[in-house]
Amino acid sequence: MPLIEVNLLEGRPPEAKERLIKALTDAAIDAIGAPRESVRVILREMAPAHFAVGGVSFAAKAAAAAQPRVEE
């Protein structure tokens, strides 16, 4: 029984998540011959404030990008 876990930032539409689930299921079937009914997919969504790269959360990056730039 393949169990595929995916962590992603929240905010994607339900249709996009359904496409991802189907694509991951199909990939498991193609790659290892798993029966479709045995493939499990777990999507874990997280707030942008709960994911960071290089010590800066995605929420902080988005806030900084939204600030008007001051030209010197």
Assess whether 2 carries a catalytic annotation: yes
pLDDT for the residue numbered 72? 65
pLDDT for the residue numbered 3? 98
Taking residues 35-59, what's their average pLDDT? 96
Give the DSSP letter string of 11-69.
---HHHHHHHHHHHHHHHHHHH---GGG-EEEEEEE-GGG-EETTEEHHHHHHHHHSPP
pLDDT for the residue numbered 8? 96
Taking residues 5-13, what's their average pLDDT? 97
Residue-wise pLDDT tens digits, 15-32: 999 999 999 999 999 999
Among residues 2, 14, 35, 48, the one annotated as catalytic is: 2
